Chains A and B, each alone.
Chain A
Amino acid sequence: MEPFSHFNAQTIDDAVLILRRYSDRAHVIAGGTDLIGKMKDRILPGYPEALVNIKTIPNLGFIETRNGMVRIGPLCTLEEIANSEVITHHWLALTQAAARAASPHLREMGTIGGNICQDIRCWYYRNPNNRFPCLRKGGGRCYALEGDNRFHSIFGGSVQEGCYAVHPSDVAPALVALDGRVKTTKRTVPIEDFFSVSVQKTTILDADEIVTEIRLPLPVEGTKSAFGKFALRASIDFPIVNCAAAVTVSQGKAIAARICLNAVYVTPYRPAASEEAILGKPLTDVNIERAADAAVSGAKPLSRNRYMVQIARTMVKRALLACR
């Protein structure tokens, strides 16, 4: 790696001050499992001048249940979340998602805050030494459109940028299905609004903004949640498609449903038609099949990723079946 400055932040304010001083030339580092790979491969045109280590800030690794919600600190590792009894009890989809992310080593290192802030894994974007200066690096075009797009979006590109790289997180769809909120140093937003697509950004975070907390409401009586992942390898692999669902059943009928697919679109993707299709109906095989059909009814696959449509449909079906 090339030289850079390194700071151990003692408080969140401390970290924000350093980030501000470097404007957008500094990066926050927590687990580092995404960032260090990016820096080693020099995938970006610019190189960070400084890293701000937030692991030295005390008390950011909490899991607290209070006032009808759980508050999760951004430095909670995925392994801690996967092994948390309280999260398994109330928010099963999150446990399942955390346990399926990456490999055991990376789960010990990677944090939940870092997971939702991670960068895209598009193989043109990630090609070493900035070989493909694509749209997401401020360049002129998306190489996946005419290139090999077997792992790219099946629901179209981002509106402003025309980028087809999917969001690779396993944890994000679970947080969306569980109606999570993200608290940062500047605002608190629903997790769906947290993801956004622009040059070198996968979130709404400003250069001097840090995630400070993730909140999940306590599910109402009769709610079940589940997460499923399809990947080429069972261990240490990014998803081809994953899906989380949380369904509340009352008197035999689904009265609330949140479904979220990921790795199929530029941000975690909520198939609204699928949620509508299951609302007010019992979770029978037929209704679940219909909801699964609705989930991919708007699919616009590219030249080489038509196969993902069938997988996405099946993942929605499996997630809903697991919520019965």
Chain B
Amino acid sequence: MESVCLCPYCKNRFAGHESLRAHVVAEHGSAPLPKPDGYITLTVNGQSYEQKVEPEWTLYYLLHDKLGFTGAKQMCDRGACGSCTVIVDGKAILSCMTLAIECDGKRVETVEGIAASDHPLIEEYVKHHCMQCGYCTPGFVVTAKALLDKDPDPTEEEIRVALGGNLCRCGTYPQHPKAVLAAARKLAK
């Protein structure tokens, strides 16, 4: 998904602004070109992405529609349901209420990254059957992962509070603290 950048000296095309900067420094002896407006570099699940974004794009739109991380789900689109939760610099935040252009240099973690790292939360969520339709589940898992990163041994009450911003219309609420507690026990081993 990298954008094509044109070298102002030799009109060669480059994939992404980082490679253009390297080119102008090496080939033309010029100072590195300033980043054009709207270019951001962000890390998603450990991989670096360079992207031209529009100011009105939300982080959700960038991740889901442009970069293909379809784990985060759009539900209310107003910051009231938690389905679009992702972890940015260690904090569980709502990607639908975050502007992508303000995420330059940030480290983003999505549910895909949590699954790829074989986090015990995934297995425990399946084992405890914390979903019916499953639409809200990625948001819950991401929020729970951020909680366990901060506090590896949370109480049931702390889990309830931390998951307080995630809504589930199937009503699977009682299962979530059980799964998170089980995952915390597994992590402690």
A residues with CB within 8 A of B: 1-6, 8, 29, 32-33, 36-37, 40-41, 51, 53, 55-56, 79, 102-106, 108-109, 234-236
Contact = CB atoms under 8 A, between A and B. Distances in A.
A109 B98 contact: yes
Interface of B: 38, 54-56, 58, 77-80, 82, 85, 91-94, 97-99, 101-102, 143, 161-165
A105 B82 contact: yes
Contact of A1 (B56, B80, B91, B102): B56
A3 B55 CA distance: 7
Nearest to A1: B56
B98 A3 contact: no
A103 to B, nearest CB: 3
Contacts of B99: 6, 29, 32, 36, 51, 53
Main secondary structure on B side of the interface with A? mixed
A236 B162 CA distance: 11
Contact of A234 (B54, B78, B164): B164
A79 B164 CA distance: 14
Contacts of B162: 104
- What 3 A-B pairs are tightest by C-beta distance, nearest first? A103-B165, A235-B164, A6-B55
Given A104-B92, A105-B92, A32 B98 contact: yes
A33 B98 CA distance: 8
Contacts of A6: 38, 55, 99, 101-102
A33 B164 contact: no
Nearest to A31: B97
B78 A108 contact: no
Contact of A105 (B54, B94, B102): B94
A41 B98 CA distance: 15
A51 B55 contact: yes
Given A104-B163, A235-B165, A236-B165, 14 more contacts: A29-B102, A32-B97, A33-B79, A36-B99, A51-B55, A55-B102, A102-B165, A103-B165, A104-B143, A105-B82, A106-B79, A106-B165, A235-B161, A236-B80
A267 B161 CA distance: 29
B91 A108 contact: yes
A33 B97 contact: yes
Contacts of A105: 79, 82, 85, 92-94, 143, 165
Nearest to B54: A3
A235 B168 CA distance: 13
* Candidate in A3, A4, A5, A33 with the most chain B CB atoms within 10 angstroms: A33
Contacts of A4: 55-56
